[in-house]
Structure 1
């Protein structure tokens, strides 16, 4: 399933782990990086590894965002080695694909030590630096990559972008947002995860901005608060009319092909062919995945 909502949870607050699972998010991300102060990182790693080792559910997906630098290897060894409850590793501030080759090696060693199938733990790199943005094409093709995350807070700081002006409506990040969608499609991986917004109280603004990201090609968004989940899930869940239109398009083209034609018309008399049907099939695929 392509998760619609990814809820970040601080790794040093284990009391919130079970609440996050019950929040309605399709995926939770236990965070060992930005959400945890330096003094608490070792304890957070131990708490997250202990909890992952006890997790046996099929939903939501369970991800861990590990640290960069020297802590990365210890983080990966602990959480992958905890058992089979882990879906994948979120790798922050990836600057080039070589980093992910090393991550692949670290995960493989941990899988082998834990008796897990090699390749069972996937990776979601975060594109949140100028270097990462320029290397996004190669990062998307690196080992184990399931999909990318776009992290705009760090990216804005790196680029000197000044986000948040009401006249911009996110256009200051349009290049980065579209690039990450494009390299993901070219690499044949899942659609990227849209960035968080820190204002969790204005749900109308959240719905509007998430809708814009959806139209750009995103099928999920990261959240920092449970209050955001229902809104984000709603945006990325096809409406009944959309599902009916998609099924009608597929049925019409199937019938046309059965009669020997390669194209046909939709209910409004517009031509439809395989290019149009790809979007319809994608919608129906999302419905099946979310069922």
Structure 2
């Protein structure tokens, strides 16, 4: 099963809690991210892998991606060998990627159930990973996206305030666009009770060029969706831009003085496409 054309909500859930995974599948998230890495204690790794394999023996009701364990650790090989052939797997999220070679190695070692390439998503969680963003983004045709893992990156950089991550965020957005990938998904907001802070952070992320966000609790999903969906006034403006462009294909100005050119028209098309696919 593939993700919707514009997936906005991606819900993380621990792989060793099948009952929680079952709830996540009906939570309204566009994509469920089963985590075998940070959310699972070492003595629960094998159980989490087996429970996830059982889930993915049949296609679930929504796309399911799995974040496997560290690629240089003792669990990743078994994760990839066990899960990649299963028909219910829609993608693999690779933690702490620092080089294109890691992506290539996984792509070659993890064919899908039909023999093709499983969609891969690289998480950049260190300074070295961010420095390698474009190289990773162009490493293999199976790679469909890159994103930041901000908790680990914050610790690696010694960043105190949130603004200290903005350069890395912009770097990943630019690398994804330059590689022809979808816009990155924003990293999690760790305080599940701070919905106002989540909304403000999503607005900032959208301003930076992100599209959608990972979540760690279902209550965060509607906040993320509202923040990333075009507001009524954005839709109205996009429609006005396209109407003006249709009437006169040349460059012109809207009644409010805004200059309309090909780039503005392209942005209007993206806005309306997102609005249509989320109705």
**TM-score strictly above 0.5:** yes
Q: Give me the CA root mean square deviation.
A: 1.3
Aligned counterparts of 2:10 and 2:274: Cα–Cα separation in 1: 16
* Deviation digits for residues 57-113 of structure 1 (CA, Å, limit 9, x no counterpart): 3xx321000011232221112112222x221000000011110000110122xx2xx
Residue of structure 1 in register with 2:64 after alignment = 62
Give the Cα–Cα distance (whole angstroms) in 2 for the partners of residues 86 and 280 of structure 1.
34
Q: Contact 1:123–1:146 (CA<8 Å) still a contact in 2? A: yes
> What secondary structure sits across from 1:54 in the alignment?
coil
- Asked if 1:50 is matched to 2:48, the reply is no
Q: Which of 216, 220, 232 lines up with 1:224 in the alignment?
A: 216
**Per-residue deviation, 1:265:** 2.2
Look up the SS of the partner of 1:87 in the other structure: strand
Q: Distance in 1 between matches of 2:229 and 2:217?
A: 19
Q: Are 2:9 and 1:2 aligned?
A: no
Aligned to 2:184: 192
Among 227, 247, 260, the alignment partner of 1:272 is: 260
Stretch of structure 1 that moved more, 246-255 or 132-141: 246-255
8 Å Cα contact 1:2/1:190 also seen in 2: no
CA distance in 2 between counterparts of 1:29 and 1:250 reads: 37
| Aligned-pair CA distance for 1:279 | 1.4
Q: Secondary structure at the match of 1:253?
A: helix
Decide which of 184, 194, 201 is 1:202's aligned counterpart: 194
**Deviation at residue 211 of structure 1 after TM alignment:** 0.5
Corresponding residue SS for 1:149 = strand
Q: Which runs of 5+ in 1 are unaligned?
A: 164-169
Q: Distance in 2 between matches of 1:158 and 1:251?
A: 49
Distance between the aligned counterparts of 1:270 and 1:39, measured in 2?
60
What are the Cα deviations for residues 199-237 of structure 1, in whole angstroms up to 9, with x where unaligned? Answer: 110111110011101110011111111111110111011
Q: How many residues align?
A: 272
**d(CA) in 2 for partners of 1:253 and 1:97?**
42
- TM-score (ref. length: structure 1): 0.90
Aligned to 1:167: none
Between the aligned partners of 2:51 and 2:231, the Cα distance in structure 1 is: 39
TM-fit CA distance, 1:271: 2.1
- What secondary structure is seen at the aligned counterpart in 2 of 1:148? strand
Aligned residue number for residue 106 of structure 1: 109
User: Which residue in the other structure is 1:246 paired with?
Assistant: 238
Unmatched segments (≥5 aa) in structure 2: none
Cα distance in structure 2, aligned partners of 1:52 and 1:100: 22
What TM-score, normalized to structure 2? Answer: 0.93
Q: CA deviation at 1:117?
A: 4.3
Alpha-carbon deviation of 1:52?
A: 1.3
Which of 130, 133, 137 pairs up with 2:130?
133
Matched residue SS, 1:190: coil
The answer to whether the 8 A contact 1:197-1:223 is kept is: yes
CA distance in 2, matches of 1:185, 1:285: 18
Aligned equivalents of 1:130 and 1:172: distance in 2?
12
Runs of 4+ in structure 1 over 2 Å off: 54-57, 288-291
